[in-house]
Structure 1
Amino acid sequence: MAKKKSAKKQKLSWRARQTQRLRRWGLRTAIWAVSLFIFAVLIFTVINPPTTYTMLSEKRRLGAIDQDWVPMEAIAPVMARAVVAAEDANFCDHWGFDVKAIRAAIEAGGARGASTISQQTVKNVYLWQGRSWLRKALEASITPVVELAWSKRRILEIYLNIAEFDEGVFGVEAAAQHYFGVPPDRLSARQAARLASVLPAPKQRSASRPTTSQVRRIAAIMDGAATIDRDGRARCFQ
């Protein structure tokens, strides 16, 4: 009887040790995962993202892509304003999520998008394209951290350098040369609006051959860019 109790006690002790080891392993894994995540966010405050999942996918598919990084100082201010006007007019006023836009999207039955430039940048830098609950959950988790770690100007700088403007054409430097044959600091207000008008669907739209609806969108973007410049909604990145 004593031997049975001893064996049972040893078995319970073994299970307790294994459980303790698993807990320690789980805790260490969680700490490493969080540390790696924080590092992956902080590193891009000073280093430019070398590539993205979308760029790699397109490079495999097409054989080559066009992308050259340029700092914000080498991008015409009107280009930055045009993209914000087109994609996220309240960019300077939110913390990564535009609650008003989300409500409007819900009221419209999901017919319109509500992703901010911050969310799109997180998706492009860290995640993948396509719709899935997992991607949206990861995007929602990473976006507030990026907003805390990066300045608004940095978020927009990265977005302008990694957004796709045509098939295999990534970033405003490549886009400005591809469509208009000029560097990004020489873009006019109309050219900037035409580039911004292709976002976020560059495979369905063209800055050189805009559709009738896109022409109207270009005019609206030009007006919006001028408006956010006047009312101060461009203050965080200019």
Structure 2
Amino acid sequence: MPRRKTSRKSPRGGPIDRLARAIRRTLRWMVVAAVALVLLLIAWIGVYRFVDPPGGLYMWQEWRRLGAIERRWVPMLQIAPVMARAAVAAEDANFCRHWGFDVVAIRSAIEAGGTRGASTISQQVVKNVFLWHGRSWPRKVLEAGITPVMELMWSKERVLEVYLNVAEFDTGVFGIEAAAQHYFNRAAADLTPRQAALLAAILPAPQARSASRPTDRVTRRARAIEDGAATIARDGRAACFGG
């Protein structure tokens, strides 16, 4: 009687199977790691809703480079309301009306050929507190992802409070309290409308401009900011941050 032939299956655990299992395991761990990082980032943002940020990467770099920096955190109640309005007038006039990105400003910047900035106060807070300075695409992508989450978790008043406390006003001078003392020898709570406008006027380039020795250009910009701050107070655009 002829012997029946038995089919032989390829042994499990061959090179192809091992490779497939390794790929699946790697992908699974990558997904887990990505989810963990997202949850950690959300928790980090949530903590800073209540805890004052100690600074950011750029502030730390300047501290390392200079050996010391000037900075003292003050709550919003210890900042002159006109300073908050001046910062909004200078940097983000639609601050109370957007959710982190000013679409109108972005469209205008595109139409101007990209020569005009469209970064909101919220985006600047994300850059200064959670990320790093520069124009790289990875930073822009992270900024675009973090900004709406922060807007969702923080109040507008908190966003502006953090912004005013981490913004750079001169080389090694961070935050509005240090800036008020540095330029005018007074507390942030005692700033006049003109002083607030001058401080806001140097924000785009604080290392190249001075609030106590303003150039004609800075003076003209400060005058426009002062008018803009008054307009914001009248038309209700300061309502979201109590200004």
TM bracket (short chain) = over 0.9
1:150 aligns with 154
1:118 aligns with 122
Q: CA deviation at 1:30?
A: 1.5
TM-score scaled by length of structure 1: 0.95
Using a 3 Å threshold, how does the CA distance of structure 1 residues 19 and 200 change in structure 2: closer, same or farther? same
Which amino acid in structure 1 is aligned with residue 10 of structure 2? S
Is 1:166 paired with 2:165?
no
Q: How does 1:79-228 map onto structure 2 within 5 Å?
A: 79-228=83-232
Deviations 1:154-194 (A, max 9, x none): 00000000000011000001000000111110000001001
- Comparing 134-143 with 178-187, greater Cα deviation is found at 134-143
Q: CA deviation at 1:2?
A: 7.4
TM-score scaled by length of structure 2: 0.93
**What is the aligned length?**
237
Structure 2 gaps, min length 5: none
Choose which of 5, 13, 36 in structure 2 pairs with 1:32.
36
Structure 1 gaps, min length 5: none
Displacement over 4 Å in runs of 4+: 1-4
Deviations 1:200-235 (A, max 9, x none): 210111101111111110000000000000000000
- Comparing 165-174 with 128-137, greater Cα deviation is found at 128-137
Is 1:10 paired with 2:13?
yes
Q: CA deviation at 1:3?
A: 9.6
> Max radius of gyration: which structure?
2
Q: CA deviation at 1:131?
A: 1.5
Using a 3 Å threshold, how does the CA distance of structure 1 residues 2 and 43 change in structure 2: closer, same or farther? farther
Deviations 1:70-91 (A, max 9, x none): 0000000000000000000000
Q: Say which structure is richer in helix.
A: 1
In structure 1, the residue corresponding to 2:206 is in which secondary structure? coil
Distance 2:197 2:112 in 1: 26
Distance 2:32 2:132 in 1: 27
Which amino acid in structure 2 is aligned with residue 21 of structure 1? R
- Comparing 124-133 with 15-24, greater Cα deviation is found at 15-24
Choose which of 75, 79, 82 in structure 2 pairs with 1:78.
82
Q: CA deviation at 1:4?
A: 6.9
Provide the alpha-carbon RMSD of the alignment: 1.6
Distance 2:110 2:22 in 1: 48
Distance 2:34 2:8 in 1: 39
